[in-house]
Amino acid sequence: MAKTKVIQNTRRHDPTALGRNFKRRLRAGDLLLGGSVSEYLRPSLAKIYAQAGYDFIYVDKEHMFFDGAEMTDFILAARDNRIPVISKIGELNRAEAARLLEAGAVGIQLPRSESRAQLEELISYMKFPPKGTRAGAPCYGNVDYAWPADDRKWLRLADESVVVVVHIETALGYENAAQIISTPGVDMVYVGPYDFSISMGEPGNYDHPRVRKALLDILKLCLKHGVAFGTSASSPERGREWIARGCQFFELATEQALIINGAAGLVREYSGKG
């Protein structure tokens, strides 16, 4: 991108700190809970999730339609409330990955991760030369709209701040899990239990022995390679069991599910049908 500096970032503020602190927590083994967003991409929801105590926000851009403006506004609101955003993309796409990172997202999650080559390509999109091929654009939400005073330092810290998230949800991804998880630069591995259970021949049965064994195999590989493992448990009780085994993060219920469950629960309480 053409370098047209308007205002340099002279404040004592590091725009890469949000992502680097998140990665520091990953390395420390902290339990990280993510609030999911599937439809209502409003800045107020980012604030509500931050107030609720979530550690990050997961946005599903594979299945839902979000335009550039609402996505940018949501990520900016999340950043202002010091909560990192990880966004799933529809497929490997350089431009989409760049737009999300420039908007200020800290992580990209790749659905149907099935080979090391896919992850190496994604990492190339997310890292600046010489580690990758990402184009420089330090003038958007990624720097809080203030050009860095030290370009070389910012490039280095920006590389350190991005979070690469594997998303295993197919039998082929499971088959290639060892090569995928051991890919240099991978930070997190999420197993999407619904599609994974379908691929394993047990649709919707997250706790079926065949599905559970496969998840445990992936978890063991993550522990071996020092990569954070995460999933979406069938219940909080199951979630605590996964935590005891070494699961480090969860992508929790969507805002739709929270609204539906909360509304239905209130109706039951008032109608006496609870």
The CATH number of whichever domain residue 246 belongs to comes to: 3.20.20.60
Whole-number pLDDT of residue 63: 84
Q: Does a structural domain hold residue 263?
A: yes
Q: What is the DSSP letter of 86?
A: E
Q: Does a structural domain hold residue 155?
A: yes
Tens of pLDDT, residues 214-225: 999 999 999 999
Whole-number pLDDT of residue 143: 94
Whole-number pLDDT of residue 97: 96
Q: Is the pLDDT of residue 87 over 70?
A: yes
Question: What's the average model confidence in pLDDT over 23-29?
Answer: 96
Helix, strand, coil distribution of the chain in percent, nearest 5: 50, 15, 35
Q: What percent of the chain has pLDDT over 90?
A: 88
Q: Is the pLDDT of residue 83 over 70?
A: yes
Whole-number pLDDT of residue 5: 53
Tokens of 148: 């860095």
Q: Is the pLDDT of residue 30 over 80?
A: yes
Q: Is the pLDDT of residue 267 over 70?
A: yes
Domain count, the chain: 1
Q: Does a structural domain hold residue 157?
A: yes
Question: Distance of CA 167 to CAs 70, 106, 151, 160, 220, Å?
Answer: 24, 16, 32, 21, 16
Q: Does a structural domain hold residue 129?
A: yes
Whole-number pLDDT of residue 8: 55
Tens of pLDDT, residues 177-209: 999 999 999 999 999 999 999 999 999 999 999
If pLDDT is split at 50, 70 and 90, which confidence band does 32 have? very high
If pLDDT is split at 50, 70 and 90, which confidence band does 62 have? confident
pTM: 0.92
Q: Does a structural domain hold residue 55?
A: yes
Q: Does a structural domain hold residue 6?
A: no
Q: Does a structural domain hold residue 169?
A: no
Q: Is the pLDDT of residue 146 over 60?
A: yes
Whole-number pLDDT of residue 6: 53
Q: Does a structural domain hold residue 74?
A: yes
Tens of pLDDT, residues 229-243: 999 998 999 999 999
Q: What is the DSSP letter of 149?
A: S
Residue 251 belongs to domain spanning: 23-164+229-271
Cβ neighbours of 77 (radius 10 Å): 22
